[in-house]
Amino acid sequence: MSTVNSAASGTSINDLMATMNAKKTEKDGVQADTDKFMTLLVTQLKNQDPLNPLDNAQVTSQLAQLQTVTGVNKLNETLETLKSSYQSSEALAATNLIGHGVLVEGSNLTLVKGQSVFGIDLATAADNVQVIVTDPKTGKDVATIEMGAMEAGATPLAWDGSSDAVDAATLADGGYTFRVVATRGGQPLTDVKGLTLDSVASVSTNSKDGVKLNLAGKGAVTLADIKQVL
């Protein structure tokens, strides 16, 4: 026995309406081009010189031009429909990230109760990687985290706040900055990025900028800026 849901998904309704409107726009656009062409052709035929009438080649050429223009318009309208559908899917994916922690390019980390999460993004594998933590209040390096060899890609990391002090005392909670030093074959790697932890507060969309994720710390970013979801 078939069942009917009492409420349809808002996204499904929007997608359906968008598809219907896109088809109507396509039909109206093609019909307008056809009507315009036929009006011009009839006018030419009415006003043609009886001693020098339009030949079949001219009419055929004009028909070919109409088909080309109509085809291009159809393609453009189809691409616009696909773009709208893609943006709808992208917006839905972005909305699912609200409230999640994410790693984005940055050099800040926050120590809370002796714990911090950040990340490293390497374009290529490295033989040795170091993370150097700096206290922005003093400008002094306060901790060195030895990571050893690492593979290419984005890697989330957890740090317990241990300092470079002789007793490895845990640093005070608060904000710090960090930089990544990576080498391969004894040579420094330049395409190395630090990743900072942030959270997705909301999502905004518009026709000009597309889908934007509004992060609590960094502000507006795109989905492509998100290196990892935690």
For 178-222, the pLDDT digits (tens) are: 999 999 999 999 999 999 999 999 998 876 778 899 999 999 999
Which has more confidence, 21 or 193? 193
Q: Where are the domains of the chain?
A: 10-95, 101-229
How far is 190 from 124, CA to CA, in rounded Å? Answer: 10
Mean pLDDT computed over 3-12: 44
Whole-number pLDDT of residue 108:
96
Q: What's the pLDDT at 47?
A: 63
Provide CB contacts within 8 A for 60, sequence distance 6+.
Answer: none
What are the tens digits of pLDDT across the range 172-187? Answer: 999 999 999 999 999 9
User: Stretch 85-89: mean pLDDT, rounded?
Assistant: 61
Q: What pLDDT does 87 receive?
A: 61
Q: Is residue 20 scored above 60 in pLDDT?
A: no
Higher pLDDT, 70 or 8: 70
Token representation of residue 15? 């997608």
186 conformational bin, left if phi > 0, alpha if psi -120 to 50, beta if neither: left
Rounded to two decimals, the pTM is 0.63
More confident residue, 14 or 190: 190
208, 179 contact by CB (below 8 A) = no
pLDDT of residue 90: 75
pLDDT number for residue 49: 56
Residue 3 pLDDT:
35
Give the three-state DSSP class for 26: helix
Provide, rounded to the nearest whole percent, the portion of the chain with pLDDT above 90.
49
Query: Cα separation of 118 and 116, whole Å?
Result: 7
User: Which amino acid, one-letter code, is at 101?
Assistant: G
Share of the chain above pLDDT 70, in %: 61
In sequence order, the 6+-apart residues with CB closer than 8 A to the CB of 120 are 129, 131, 147, 150, 154, 155, 157, 180, 192, 193, 194, 195
Question: For residue range 102-151, what is the model confidence (pLDDT) as tens digits?
Answer: 999 999 999 999 999 999 999 999 999 999 999 999 999 999 999 999 99
Q: Which CATH number fits domain 101-229: 2.60.40.4070, 1.20.1270.360, 3.40.47.10, 3.30.2130.30?
A: 2.60.40.4070
Q: Which two tokens stand for residue 208?
A: 């000009």
Q: Using alpha carbons, select from 130, 111, 118 the residue that is nearest to residue 155.
A: 118
Which secondary-structure segment (H or E) carries 25? helix 10-47
Higher pLDDT, 70 or 141: 141
